Structure 1
Amino acid sequence: MSSPAEDALGDVSPRVIQFVFDLVAQTFVFGLYTLLLCLAIRMLLRAGLKVRPNGVKLFLILFMCLLSAGYWTYTVVYAAHLLRAHLNVATLSLSDHDGITQWLPLANAIAMLNFALTDGVIIWIAWALCHRQLRKYLWISIGLLAMTVAAVVVTISFRMVPLLLKDPSKGNALHPGLVQSLSRGLSLTSSLSATVVVAITAWQHRQIVRRGSKHEETTTQSGLVLNAVTNIGLLYCFSTLVALVFTFIPLPHGTLGDLYYPLSVHIASAYLPTVILLVDGERPWSSSETNTFSDTVIYGRSSPNPTMYPVQFGSADASPTTTVGGITVTGPDIIHPLRKTLSAMSRMSTPKQSRFSDTSLDPRRNL
């Protein structure tokens, strides 16, 4: 005859096993995110916090880290209590178990703040990088971001009401996860629209450089920055899309989105540290050290001795710097000055290094 403990082990539901395996995957992703976070903080501290954008970025990554760490900690506690309840541990009553698990919907709702913050960072970067003519389209992203924030606030409110009323059954007035799914959809459209604007800027920049060059392989430091930001943004949008699609794929217990959602929370938190490591480097997104915004065109990257030509981004009819939301962007108009410079450069017989060229857009240093 089997003991009560053996019977309890045999009664462990697939839902518990599913949650434990999801916790293992979430812990792995959270560990990678923590590594990126430490490297990004170290880079910001080395660059100095006297520049306001660096201070803002440090505050954002620390706040998002607090949300992610709190969410991961709660899921660990949730899993431990869930296992103890199914093992019929005598020291744990059913009411204590319910007192832990009833907070899971609210924890999921609060974690959605990371998506809204990441969307705001994407729009911030896009505004700093894109052309003046394209900034008007970012107002669409800003409007979608405002609706995302409103949906997140509504979701948190719906999750808090039944807890305050001490009656969890009253939290089912709406279909479970309906408002939360709407928030994810709005977040996806907001971040995707801003990323598309950056992608268009990168494409226009690449086309103009190629038209002004007779070499097959041509790249610029600013082109590398634009491509890096575009690729990181697309990867984040893909993760958000997967989380949204998985919401509608049912499992014996819950949906596939319930398994992927914790992972997507940490992926959203990792966006800003990744951008800092790959693009920002030792400088902030502003570049106030120089009066003009210059770049370097690299011809023949595959050759052992590539030819370097300076590309001037400043124009006579544009102000040297533009301040947007506390971010100073030097030389906002990239395309038109670049077209003039490349046209003049194509008539040059001998390459000359301009004393005005710099590496202010080195992808390892700043945006």
Structure 2
Amino acid sequence: MAKRILDQIEANSDTSSVEDVDTEALRLDKIPSPKKLFYEDEDEDEDDDEEAADNEVVIQRESQPIEDPINVKRVRFKRRQRDPVSDAEDPNVRYWDFGPLIRQEFRDKLPSNYEIKRWRRPSKHMVRSVVQLIETNFETAIEQVLDRYNDELKSVVNDSTAVHRQKHILMNDLVFKIRHQLKKTKFPSRISDYDVDIEYIVSKRKYIQSRYALELANAEKLEDELIREEQKLKELKELCQDLETSNKRKLQDRLLKNDLHPSLTKAMENAYGLIPDSDQAGQGNNIYTKDVQELQLVPSGGTLTNGSEDEDTLDVEKLVPALREYNKVSQSIYSNIEKFMKLNKIESVLDRIDKISGDNE
């Protein structure tokens, strides 16, 4: 009995699983080879394997520690790349399985950095809304096809009502199967039931169209209003510029004609310092008197001050050097005359002559 069980186990066992095991990695008498992150081309790998096998044979011949097993193989794992063309042309694709198709469509419409994490089964309202959309499209498609090929259909079949009824029965069967498959599929959890409701879609479309038309009309009105305001602003700027120019010209003309109002005349005279003080009102508008008082040419007593005279003399002598020499000569003459008269007592003689002449008279 035991022999039969072992024979059965040996018959059912797969020898390839034993041959594919990398026994070199299990040996303790050799340093394990470094691991590689990437596999290179098959030709290079085969050459490396042959060189490694030759080196191992040489080492084994020199040392011969343990006999190696025969037909040693290594397991390789290669990344399988999906080919979308081959997947699309795969005859085993289940077209009535809406789950992968719905997932693929939603993922294609989303950006690459976005990922849908939560999926849920559709509600009854969502399934009913989707089926209603499909039925509406089916009815429209049937009517368009029958209207387009009505002549050809009448030439083949006398009564087209049977064909029409048959098409409706076929479409109803398709709709029933689609409804049944939609209940099994999953949609993103963020999709609302109203997003596929035909009444909601139509009402939302009408609202968006009406809102767009209203906003467009408001934008046109605003643009017209801006154009009118811009034109008014331009006219006001031109008017202000014309008024400024005309006012300057009128003011200049009236100033030249001295035709202003007395209050305006006094105000402008006061602004330019033309109104005299109260103590100068009795002196009249003598320009010379104003200049003498403003420039301090003559003091209130009517005589020139020594300080001002000396300052004026020094300024004149600086400007005219000959006048300085003249003053020096005249001062020396006066001093000499005084000395001569004192030495000769001419003053006393002159005084006596004056007295005698006075007595005789």
Give the TM bin, normalised by the shorter chain.
under 0.3
- RCO comparison, higher one (Cα < 8 Å, 6+): 1
Please report the TM-score for the alignment, with normalisation by the length of structure 1. Answer: 0.19
Flag the structure with higher helix content: 2
Please report the TM-score for the alignment, with normalisation by the length of structure 2. Answer: 0.20
Flag the structure with higher strand content: 1
